[in-house]
Amino acid sequence: GAVVSQHPSRVICKSGTSVKIECRSLDFQATTMFWYRQFPKQSLMLMATSNEGSKATYEQGVEKDKFLINHASLTLSTLTVTSAHPEDSSFYICSARTEQEFSYEQYFGPGTRLTVT
Amino acid sequence: GESVGLHLPTLSVQEGDNSIINCAYSNSASDYFIWYKQESGKGPQFIIDIRSNMDKRQGQRVTVLLNKTVKHLSLQIAATQPGDSAVYFCAESYGNQFYFGTGTSLTVIP
């Protein structure tokens, strides 16, 4: 089956620093990737949708200058949390989708736990 | 985003019993629905999906039922096992995006 990886799986950073999270589709080409954040005991909240080679589309209320998304290739998307603050601490999950006929399925990464101290 | 809600936030079942997890969705134009399972500290795992032109789909030990009239989705797990303990999310899709429900925490009692 399709595999999506994320790196790092856990990261602790100091307030004010930036953190980059990578999302890779390992055995398929992902024309569309999604970034979610999830707080404890809550659902996944879609942050943005990115298509390879174009700018990401951010959901309402998500600061695009704070959460920089780059979808540079069909197998890699990155999320950079700039000037991180403790309230940015969360579980960040990416997913990837192919453009196969009749397939709408998203494949999720294992998530990245970000802790900002 | 769209609102997809679940009726029960927690569910406890005895091992071997059947589980039913319910979900209400809000967008009548949604044309694709998925159930995901998420274990603690991990990303969501695909369980089963259904398109809006169907009302029932069966997988291995799981069945999804879709009632478009009342915008209701359910996941049935047969012979629930301890390994089924997790949080289950339904998601609806309209266009290029997916919207997740609140989640139901399923606990299987041995």
pLDDT single digits (tens) B15-27: 999 999 999 998 9
Chain A nearest CA to B93, separation (Å): 9
If you measure CA to CA, which chain A residue comes closest to B45?
A108
| pLDDT for res A1 | 67
Q: Contact B25/B38 with Cβ under 8 angstroms?
A: no
Residues of B in contact with A32 (CB under 8 A): 96
DSSP letter at A110 equals: -
Residues of B in contact with A44 (CB under 8 A): 44, 89, 100
- Which one of A4, A43, A95 has the shortest CB-CB distance to B89? A43
With 50 as the cut, is the pLDDT of residue B52 above it?
yes
Taking only the tens place, the pLDDT of each residue in B27-38 is 999 999 999 999
Output the average pLDDT for chain A.
Answer: 91
Residue span of the structural domain in which B77 resides = 4-109
Looking up residue B69, the CATH number of its domain turns out to be 2.60.40.10
With 50 as the cut, is the pLDDT of residue A24 above it?
yes
Query: Based on the structure, what is the number of domains in chain B?
Result: 1
Partner B contacted by A53 (CB < 8 A): no
| pLDDT for res A68 | 96
Q: Residue range A63-84: average pLDDT?
A: 94
Rounded Cα gap, residues A107 and B45, in angstroms? 8
Q: Look at residue A87 and give its three-state secondary structure.
A: helix
